[in-house]
Amino acid sequence: MPHVATYVRLAQHAEQALADSFRTVAEGHPQQADIFHTCRALAAMSDAHVAALEPLTRRYQEQTDAEDLEEPERLHTAGLPAIRQGQVGLLRDLQDLHLLATLVQTTWTVLAQGAQGLRDNELLQVATDSNTETSRQLSWLVTRMKAAAPQALIVAP
Amino acid sequence: MTVGMPARTGVDRVADVWGERTPHGRGTVWPARVDVYLDAGISAGAVDRWVPSACVLCSNGCGVDIAVKDGRMVGVRGRGTDVVNHGRLGPKGLYGSTPWASSAERLTRPLIRDGGRLVDADWATAMGRVVSRSKELLAAKGPLSHGFYTSGQLFLEEYYTLAVIGKAGLGTPHMDGNTRLCTATAAAALKESFGADGQPGSYTDVEHCDAIFLFGHNMPETQTVLWARVLDRTRGQDPPRVVCVDPRRTPVAVEAERTGGVHLAARVGTNLALMNGLTRELFAHGWTDQEWVTAHTVGVDELRRIVDPYTPEKTAKICGVDAADLQRAARIFGESDAVVSTVLQGFYQSHQATAAAVAVNNLHLLRGMIGRPGAGILQMNGQPTAQNNRECGADGDLPGFRNWDNQQHVRDLAELWNVDPMTIPHWAPPTNAMEIFGYAQDGSIGLLWISATNPAVSMPESARIRKILAGDQCFVVVQDLFLTETGQLADVVLPAAGWGEKTGTFTNASRTVHLSERAVNPPGQARSDLDIFLMYADAMDFRDKDGAPLIGWRTPEQAFDAWRRATAGRPVDYTGLSYQLLRGPTGIPWPVNQDTPDGTDRLYTEPVFPTDTDHCETYGHDLLTGGAVTEQEHRALAPSGRALLKGCAYTPAHEQPSGEYPLLYTTGRTVYQFHTRTKTRRSRSLNDAAPDAWVEINPDDARAYGISEGDLVRVESPRGAIQVRARVGNVMRGAVFAPFHYGFDPEQLHHEPAEGGLSTQANELTMTIWDPVSKQPYFKTAACRVSKVRGGDGPSTAPTTAASAPASVTAVPPTRGGQPTSSRVIPSPDYPNDPAGTTPPASPADMSGRS
């Protein structure tokens, strides 16, 4: 049980990092209008997951001994600190977002397994719904990378 | 065609936009009436020849005969036998079809840029420059250095030829049309719901419906003849109710009120919330056809979940409409026997475009209201040949509604063209117009070839577009009738032949194909777009796998036959059509094949949709993000001929009014002008009717800003500003409407330096932002501020006859003064496929019915 709390917090951290990174990429590539707007929409999606998880984070915190809540630092994930320039840079940024979103998705998968073991329907619901939306984020990232790749690799200045 | 009632002559169709009513009852054939315009001094008897064609001044596709006198086009006559218009023509078609052709401003020689100026050249020199640049770029960077931007004005044969050049000759995915600005969402919505493009309904649905919903569609101004068809129902016996979704009080809104329907003036940018609210009402009241939905659709549970939060109260609050009005509109949809829905730019060019247009399809699917007379969906087009751009793949898609993500579809094309499948750009979605201009901006596209369109005026954020076109980073070729605002910025300008000066086919918004025959010779050295593309292909020496010329055709008819072969087995089936068949009395709607040799009035009469994974044009997208559904996901969903119900949550528009920019800014059209006025400004009747740009402002807002009718005002957004006269009109409070037709004309500024050198071009203010699925730019959702520059010396010249009418009619003279036309009601000919059959024309008793 103590490690469920750890993973709840990991999910929260990772979603927050993903939200922030989507915003970083949005703000960093404003000349790419669709990147700017879609990344902000996807950031809002992750924000909503963090918010949905909030009551569960509190509940698991209360249920867990303080010392068990010490998360090993290496479980944490860092978001994108800054964007890269140009079409190739954008491609690479999208790859980083994809990596991060994959971590988020597998975190939700892990949590959903835990929630089923615990018969915690509330957590299961949040994990399942969020997972579905993470798939949408990943799907957009793949779509956008495929669209950007040929031009970036072959003719970009 | 000589029998029938006596002709009305001297009809001013500027004043009388929709012509005299010919009302008729539900389920009867729309009466025929032949409208004619001839230049002053030309009588019908003096016309040398009448050459069959169809009108190209909107997407309606009215059959016309072109009057030719002494080698000039001198007027037009509606074709009484044509299924599309039953002889009628609108003001644009009557007055605007021919005068441009003999304008002294026509391009008659190629131009090349030398020393910063455009100078006359011969074809060899001009095409030589294009070809040498092209070869140089291919050698240095490969085919991704080439981009093509076409139009909704070329002919099918030209689009298909260009598509083959681009996809099998060069191998570039960078090809799109200005159809991206007008009709991309129609295509996207049809693909998402039904698996492939293709208009489900028919104009004959108007005769059989008991309710008509117009979603963001100011039909009275954009498709005047179709609106005349609607009016002949609403003014006849057993009329349908009209429901109007529009932020302006358009003639549709007036008709909605008159017929006991509803006008929903949803706040600009909230269409999807409104649609979700309407959809929820269908579920809540049990107005869905559950058995049909279960048998013929997938996704109903998910859709129900998505729309569940949109209660009438919540929706009303988001959209700024009355909850009871919303419920009444839903009830009309839910309780009518046969609903026709039409959709256009108010949805397509606005926030969450594809999702909102798909929601219209959903309403019909939930009620099983598709595939029978009167129950039809018309996802409209803006332009006369937009449909062909989509079909042929000049918009980047693969020809014949093939799926670029389906390896077998790509192999089929490679076999047809006898090229390596790897040549055909299918490894990524086609590049949309907005991205093409982005690549041209950074120079990764080094050759941009623009045909029959004027992006310097029509694309959003004009200042940016002008900079891209004028810069040295990209070589720009422009092919057009006139030296447009875009042409002035080009490196090479090629003079093109226009409508009536060349032969070819095109297809209207209801899938009806017309053959347009050459009536006169093009001026000077102008050549047809087909000949220009073939000249380039010859010079580039494109070959197939066996070393034969890639393009095996020389004439329009040969190109058409090549296209027919490309459509075999696809939903867009032209195999049964030929130039010979199209020389008959009427246009013919596809699919035309062995099973349906006379064409097909409406699709999906059997509810089997082209959604099978191996057959569909797309696997679909996430409507919120545009993320692509994969082949595996599509197979798992197994639609197998069932339509897809897809939903999406409403999100606020990207730019909201703020303290600095407190008003919404939306753009649109007027009945007397088409596009950037390349043709319509050259008709005296049309130009005098709407000579200058204006903005419309609500009376309450006008009071708040101290603005009166006719005042010169400045309208600004974060991207640019315009200075034009104000019409205090019928736009909703808090919003400003600007017509997009009026280009930035340096001459005009030269004459009026007091205007401060400011543009009148509506797109100076619009945003570079597009729909995630259809990639159509959002022209209708931006924020702006308005201030008075100085008082006017009279009312603005905005037309009074339609949606731009003044809020207060005093002191604004009515718009009138069109040259005389004539109009004659004739006995109805036999209209193939018309579900009403043929009946005698409306009797005088009917004609005096409700009006």
The strand pairing partners of B212, in sequence order, are: B242, B340
- Of B606, B421, B580, which is closest to residue B515 (Cα–Cα)? B580
Cα B450 → chain centroid: 18
In a domain, B357, yes or no: yes
The whole-angstrom separation of Cα B457 and Cα B474 is 19
* Strand, helix or coil for residue B754: helix
Contacts of B548 (CB under 8 A, 6+ apart): B418
- Of B635, B686, B669, which is closest to residue B349 (Cα–Cα)? B669
Check if B718 contacts A (Cβ < 8 Å). no
Last residue of a domain, one of B790, B811, B832: B790
Q: Using CB atoms, which residue from A33, A136, A139 is nearest to B770? A: A33
Q: Using CB atoms, which residue from A34, A140, A154 is nearest to B142? A: A154
The CATH number for A61's domain is 1.20.1260.10
Q: pLDDT value at position A75? A: 66
Question: How do residues B559-581 score in pLDDT, each as one tens digit?
Answer: 999 999 999 999 999 999 999 99
Contacts of A48 (CB under 8 A, 6+ apart): none
Prediction pTM value? 0.95
Decide if B57 contacts B92 (C-beta within 8 A): yes
**Shared domain check, B552 and B620:** no
The whole-angstrom separation of Cα B746 and Cα B764 is 15
Query: Chain A window 36-75: which residues touch B at a Cβ cutoff of 8 Å?
Result: 37-38, 41-42
The whole-angstrom separation of Cα B220 and Cα B230 is 9
**Shared domain check, B480 and B346:** no
Calculate how close chain A gets to B175, using CA atoms only, in Å.
14
Mean pLDDT of the residues in chain B: 94
The whole-angstrom separation of Cα B355 and Cα B643 is 15
The whole-angstrom separation of Cα B640 and Cα B478 is 44
Decide if B538 contacts B75 (C-beta within 8 A): no
Q: Using CB atoms, which residue from B434, B625, B654 is nearest to A140? A: B625
The whole-angstrom separation of Cα B680 and Cα B175 is 27
The whole-angstrom separation of Cα B708 and Cα B724 is 13
Give residue A65's pLDDT band: very low, low, confident or very high (50, 70, 90). Answer: low
**Shared domain check, B389 and B331:** no
**pLDDT, average across residues B354-379:** 98
**Shared domain check, B50 and B118:** no
Q: Using CB atoms, which residue from B428, B444, B630 is nearest to A147? A: B428
Residue B3 has pLDDT above 60, yes or no: no
Check if A140 contacts B (Cβ < 8 Å). yes
Q: pLDDT value at position A32? A: 86
Parent domain of A118: 2-154
Q: How many C-alpha atoms does B325 have within 13 Å on its Cβ side?
A: 20
Calculate how close chain B gets to A157, using CA atoms only, in Å.
6
Instruction: Identify the residue among A36, A105, A151 best suited for mutation to test binding to B, counting B beta carbons within 10 A and taking the highest.
Output: A151
Last residue of a domain, one of B549, B574, B589: B589
Chain A CB contacts of B626 under 8 Å are 34, 38, 140, 143
In a domain, B63, yes or no: yes
In a domain, B105, yes or no: no
Q: Which letter, b or e, does each residue of B716-727 get, where b requires 16 or more Cβ atoms within 10 Å of its Cβ?
A: bbebbbbbbbbb
**pLDDT, average across residues B378-397:** 94
Q: ipTM of this predicted complex? A: 0.91
Tokens of B163: 């598509």
Question: How do residues A7-50 score in pLDDT, each as one tens digit?
Answer: 999 999 999 999 999 999 999 998 888 999 999 999 999 999 99
Backbone angles phi, psi at B549, to 5 degrees: -60, 135
**Ramachandran quadrant class, B633 (left: phi over 0; alpha: psi -120 to 50; beta: rest):** alpha
**pLDDT, average across residues B181-197:** 96
Q: pLDDT value at position B263? A: 98
**Shared domain check, B201 and B321:** yes
Searching chain A, which residue's CA lies closest to the CA of residue B440?
A156
Chain B CB contacts of A34 under 8 Å are 434, 626, 769-770, 772
**B770 to A34: CB separation less than 8 angstroms, yes or no:** yes
The CATH number for B375's domain is 3.40.228.10
What is the interface size between A and B, counted as CB pairs within 8 Å? 79
The whole-angstrom separation of Cα B596 and Cα B83 is 16
Residue A64 has pLDDT above 90, yes or no: no
Decide if B385 contacts B378 (C-beta within 8 A): no
Mean pLDDT of the residues in chain A: 91
* Amino acid at residue number B1: M
The whole-angstrom separation of Cα B104 and Cα B429 is 42
Query: Strand B694-697 relative to strand B735-739: parallel, antiparallel, unpaired?
Result: antiparallel
**Shared domain check, B512 and B399:** yes
Residue B698 has pLDDT above 90, yes or no: yes
Check if B496 contacts A (Cβ < 8 Å). no
State the burial class of residue B16 (Cβ atoms within 10 Å of its Cβ: 0-12, 13-18, 19+): middle
The whole-angstrom separation of Cα A52 and Cα B79 is 63
**pLDDT, average across residues B404-411:** 96
Query: Chain B window 654-673: which residues touch A at a Cβ cutoff of 8 Å?
Result: 654
Check if B442 contacts A (Cβ < 8 Å). yes
Instruction: Identify the residue among A125, A139, A153 best suited for mutation to test binding to B, counting B beta carbons within 10 A and taking the highest.
Output: A139
In a domain, B810, yes or no: no
Chain B CB contacts of A32 under 8 Å are 438
In a domain, B429, yes or no: yes
Check if A22 contacts B (Cβ < 8 Å). no
**Shared domain check, B368 and B431:** no
**B144 to A38: CB separation less than 8 angstroms, yes or no:** no
Query: Chain B window 625-644: which residues touch A at a Cβ cutoff of 8 Å?
Result: 625-630
Residue B809 has pLDDT above 90, yes or no: no
Question: For chain B, what percent of residues have pLDDT higher than 70?
Answer: 96
Number of domains in chain A: 1
Q: What angle separates helix B312-319 from helix B323-335, to the nearest 10 degrees?
A: 120
Check if A157 contacts B (Cβ < 8 Å). yes
In a domain, B93, yes or no: yes
How is B77-122 classified by DSSP, letter by letter?
Answer: EE-TT-TTTTT---HHHHHHSSGGGG-TTB--S-EEEETTEEEE--
The whole-angstrom separation of Cα B200 and Cα B369 is 11
DSSP secondary-structure letter at A32?
S
The CATH number for B842's domain is 2.20.25.90
Q: pLDDT value at position B428? A: 81
Residue B748 has pLDDT above 60, yes or no: no
Contacts of B57 (CB under 8 A, 6+ apart): B90, B92, B93, B96, B97, B384, B674, B679, B680
**Shared domain check, B496 and B403:** yes
CA B526 to each of CA A21, B95, B152, B490, B551: distance values in angstroms, whole numbers, following the listed order: 54, 23, 20, 17, 22
Decide if B222 contacts B382 (C-beta within 8 A): yes
The CATH number for B785's domain is 2.40.40.20
In a domain, B106, yes or no: no
In a domain, B656, yes or no: no
DSSP secondary-structure letter at B627?
P
Decide if B380 contacts B200 (C-beta within 8 A): no
The strand pairing partners of B495, in sequence order, are: B480
Q: Using CB atoms, which residue from A32, A41, A155 is nearest to B651? A: A41
Tokens of B208: 């059989």
Dihedral angle sign, alpha carbons of residues B35, B39, B40, B46: negative
**A38 to B626: CB separation less than 8 angstroms, yes or no:** yes
Query: Strand B8-12 relative to strand B782-790: parallel, antiparallel, unpaired?
Result: unpaired
Chain B CB contacts of A136 under 8 Å are 622, 624-625, 627
Check if B142 contacts A (Cβ < 8 Å). yes
Question: How do residues B617-672 score in pLDDT, each as one tens digit?
Answer: 999 999 999 999 999 999 999 999 999 999 999 999 988 999 999 999 999 999 99
**Shared domain check, B367 and B226:** yes
Residue B845 has pLDDT above 90, yes or no: no
Chain B CB contacts of A146 under 8 Å are 427-429, 628
Tokens of B791: 């008082």
State the burial class of residue B123 (Cβ atoms within 10 Å of its Cβ: 0-12, 13-18, 19+): middle
Question: How do residues B783-800 score in pLDDT, each as one tens digit?
Answer: 999 999 999 999 999 999
- Of B545, B559, B564, B561, which is closest to residue B169 (Cα–Cα)? B545
The CATH number for B477's domain is 3.40.50.740
Check if B429 contacts A (Cβ < 8 Å). yes
**pLDDT, average across residues A49-72:** 80
Chain B CB contacts of A154 under 8 Å are 141-142, 144
**A146 to B428: CB separation less than 8 angstroms, yes or no:** yes
The kind and range of the H/E element at B562 are helix B556-566
Number of domains in chain B: 4
Residue B839 has pLDDT above 70, yes or no: no
Check if A130 contacts B (Cβ < 8 Å). no
**pLDDT, average across residues B373-396:** 95
The whole-angstrom separation of Cα B96 and Cα B498 is 13
Question: How do residues B292-336 score in pLDDT, each as one tens digit?
Answer: 999 999 999 999 999 999 999 999 999 999 999 999 999 999 999
How is B10-75 classified by DSSP, letter by letter?
Answer: EEETTTSTT-S-----TTSPPPEEEEEEE-TT--GGG-SEEEEEE--SSSS--EEEEEEETTEEEE
For residue B591, is the peptide bond before it cis, meaning its omega torsion is within 30 degrees of 0?
Answer: yes
Q: What radius of gyration, in Å, describes the C-alpha atoms of chain B?
A: 25
Instruction: Identify the residue among B442, B467, B625, B774 best suited for mutation to test binding to A, counting A beta carbons within 10 A and taking the highest.
Output: B625
Searching chain A, which residue's CA lies closest to the CA of residue B430?
A147
- Of B697, B765, B688, which is closest to residue B725 (Cα–Cα)? B697
**Shared domain check, B261 and B118:** no
**Shared domain check, B223 and B276:** yes
Parent domain of B711: 663-790
Total count of residues recorded for chain B:
851
Calculate how close chain A gets to B144, using CA atoms only, in Å.
7
Tokens of B213: 């919903």
Chain A CB contacts of B621 under 8 Å are 143
Check if A76 contacts B (Cβ < 8 Å). no
Query: Strand B447-451 relative to strand B475-480: parallel, antiparallel, unpaired?
Result: parallel
Backbone angles phi, psi at B60, to 5 degrees: -65, -35
* Amino acid at residue number B399: P
Chain B CB contacts of A134 under 8 Å are none
**Shared domain check, B155 and B237:** no
